[in-house]
Amino acid sequence: MDPTPLSDIMAWEAMQMSVYLPLTCISMIAACITIFTAFDTKDIRRSAVQYSTYSVFCCDFVWAFLRCVLYILGMIEGVLPTANKGDRNVTNLDEPIIAYQAILTAAGDLFIVAGAIWIVLSAYEMQRVVTHTITRLEDRERHTVLFYNIVVYAPLSVLLLLFALGPVSKKDEDLTSSCLRASLYLVVWALFLAVMYLPFAMYKIYCVRQNRSGFFDHTLEHIYRRVRVLLIVYSVTTIPTSIVSLGSEVAQLTRNNSNFLGPHTSTFFFATNCLFYLTGLFNAVSIG
């Protein structure tokens, strides 16, 4: 028998939501302010660097907004949405609010993945500015932006549509839970790959700096600083929650027990989630 009383569990979940909601609101507002103040609408369509960085904040805004709505629904019900708990086991899909929570969770996950992809593309484009002596023509930049949009959003839109029209609409709770866990894995690996690419981009830019030693290049120094800050911020906010989430899932699958950090697993999970939910704010601060 579970030694933890149900009332204590519900109180803990209510406390989590009361913290998660304002944190996601802060990230959403910070991302929104950055979108409208840090970018020129004329530049973002004709510069792949600007557009990629702009898209990072757009994705930050959308996933933070979706999480806000998710936790508002959770507070209405009085329980943490099962779709976004550690094990992501969904029950009672016959209730519309549970189905909405599942779709909101998956949509938020996919926009986190999209944000990670845009981080990589932003770093690549900044790296390209430094390592290529010939810049793209404006028309070519516009085509690159269009290509990036298709590559990033088309597959993720298809996945979300299949999820909503498949297991959720058919009220298949086992398959819905499996899809939500797969969505979590996708988030974790997308974040890890983004963090792994950023040091590579830094190294390539560093090599160019070494080759140009003795000559101060303002653009080069600015880009090097931007990628370095991106790496630090992204690593601090994403790696802890990725490790805890993945470790919990692996423990659940191998030992049928998600408490891989002992009795304090839920506390670690909560703390790393809080840090991650401030990603939008930290990204906004990092852009200066």
Q: Is the dihedral of CA 200, 204, 209, 211 positive or negative?
A: positive
pLDDT at 281 over 50: yes
Q: How far apart are CA 127 and CA 199, in angstroms?
A: 11
**Per-residue model confidence as pLDDT tens digits over 157-174:** 999 999 999 999 999 999
CATH of 6-286, one of 1.20.1070.10, 1.10.760.10, 3.40.50.740, 3.10.450.50: 1.20.1070.10
Report the pLDDT value the prediction gives residue 288, as an integer from 0 to 100: 64
Closest by Cα among 114, 132, 134 to 122: 114
Q: How far apart are CA 21 and CA 252, in angstroms?
A: 27
**Per-residue model confidence as pLDDT tens digits over 114-145:** 999 999 999 999 888 888 766 788 899 999 99
**Per-residue model confidence as pLDDT tens digits over 178-209:** 999 999 999 999 999 999 998 998 888 888 87
Identify which has the larger pLDDT, 5 or 30: 30
The pTM score is 0.91
Report the pLDDT value the prediction gives residue 269, as an integer from 0 to 100: 86
Give how far Cα 73 sits from Cα of 5, 100, 102, 166, 185, Å: 24, 9, 11, 22, 24
| Amino acid of residue 116 | A
Average of per-residue pLDDT across 9-15 = 83
